[in-house]
Amino acid sequence: MNLAYRDIRHKLGRFLLTCVGLGLLLGVVLAMIGIYRGLVVDALTIARAPGIDIWIVEANTRGPFAEASRVPGDTREAVARIAGVAAAGSITYQTVEAPYRGEKLRLYVIGYEPTRPGGPPEIAAGRSIARNHYEMIADRSAGVSLGDRIQLGRNTFTVVGLTQHQVNSGGDPAVYITLPDAQKLQFDLAPPAARVQTARGAGAAARDTVNAVVARLQPNASAEAVAETVRRWKHLSAITQGEQETILSRSLVDRARRQIGLFTSLLLIVSAVIIALIIYTMTMDKLKQIATLKLIGAPDRTIVGMIVQQALALGFIGFALGATLIVNIKDWFPRRVVLEPDNVLVLGLIVFAVCLAASGLGVRAALKVDPATALGG
């Protein structure tokens, strides 16, 4: 005869309603953890997309994500000739707002050389860029479809391929276009401004500028040695892939990461307090019954067991409801929610520990009950 189970069954509706409430709260905690993880994953996605080993950026910068970086376009050729470099490619990044179906579509435009490193990691639908101009590969999160035509600057691009989960640290969907198109988009002056420059005798600004050069190394090459070679050129800095990821996760999204982390911690504390109060209230509702059980000879372990089992059942069911809810709706969030099994497991263990600790308040109240209170009215 399990008293905890029988008591729950007796007030099943109320118990399940409490579980649903707790489940929603734990679902929010899980969502925050997922958003936190998603933020980090998103920040690293674009940096990991090219599958390269070294980033060559403007001297004394930590570009191209954390800081602005501009390097000459011919840097790629110089880098490609360094011993140990298997391939190198030029790359540009910029954020634009493009008109799309009557609305503004915020896009993270990546310019790359289709035959060199720097492009999308894989195409989920459609094909790669095959022409030198006006073709685009867009991420599905932009909401565009194959064949859609999107205006960037003064040119219109056709979506020929789709990627999955390629967004920048701000959550803006990435689109890939050829490097010349990207350079034109980023560095060409608008016609009136160009005419003013021509009228005052200034030559056309050099357009062969990129934000970074990325390099893939040969299998046995040392990234650090290649980086050292690059750093000898005073106008360049070299950042290994590991360093770039550290910059992104520790610097670029650090404040947002800490903010979400702090909020998640607060939510966990609130959850703990609410679980403790629920268990305490459930126990207080049963003081007369507990007194009766004590009077008729029930040992403390029976009473403690009843309270702890109910606390754990509450936590387990609430957690299962919350996890099921979030797993099923996470793709509807505007930003990526990444829930790994280890995240769910860790939160499950935390909820287990919180329930155990929270039941302490109820157990304390139950153990203090005088069996004599069962006598009399």
Partner 1 sequence: MAEPANASPLVRIDRVSKHFGEGETRVDALREVSLDVYPRQVVALLGPSGSGKTTLLNIVGCILDASSGTMDLDGETVLRDGRWQRGDLRRLRLEKIGFIFQFHNLLPFLDATDNVAVVLKLAGVDMSAARKRAAELLDYLEVGHRRTAMPAKLSGGEAQRVAIARALANRPRIILADEPTAALDSKRARIVMDLLRKLAIEQEAAIIAVTHDEKIFDRFDHIFQLRDGRLDEPSAAADDPAEVPSG
Footprint on this chain of partner 1 (rule: CB under 8 A): 1, 3, 6-7, 9-11, 288-289, 292-299, 302, 370-372, 374-377
* Smallest distance, partner 1 to C-beta of residue 10, A: 3
* Smallest distance, partner 1 to C-beta of residue 4, A: 10
One DSSP character per residue, 276-300 reads HHHHHHHHHTTHHHHHHHHHTT--H
Nearest to partner 1 of 116, 294 (CB atom): 294
Nearest to partner 1 of 200, 301 (CB atom): 301
* Smallest distance, partner 1 to C-beta of residue 8, A: 8
Burial 54-64 (b: 16+ CB within 10 A, else e): bbbbbeebbbb
Q: How far is 46 from 39, CA to CA, in rounded Å?
A: 12
C-alpha pair distances (Å), 108 with each of 103, 140, 155, 219:
16, 13, 16, 31
* Smallest distance, partner 1 to C-beta of residue 300, A: 8
Nearest to partner 1 of 26, 293 (CB atom): 293
C-alpha pair distances (Å), 30 with each of 58, 311, 335:
40, 20, 14
Q: How many CB atoms lie within 10 A of CB 78?
A: 15
* Smallest distance, partner 1 to C-beta of residue 355, A: 21
Q: 341: burial class by Cβ within 10 Å (0-12, 13-18, 19+)?
A: exposed
Cα four-point dihedral sign 137, 139, 142, 147: positive
Q: How far is 162 from 158, CA to CA, in rounded Å?
A: 11
Nearest to partner 1 of 5, 333 (CB atom): 5
Nearest to partner 1 of 147, 297 (CB atom): 297
Peptide bond into 219 cis (omega under 30): no
* Smallest distance, partner 1 to C-beta of residue 278, A: 17
Kindly state the tokens that stand for 142.
């932009």
Nearest to partner 1 of 209, 292 (CB atom): 292
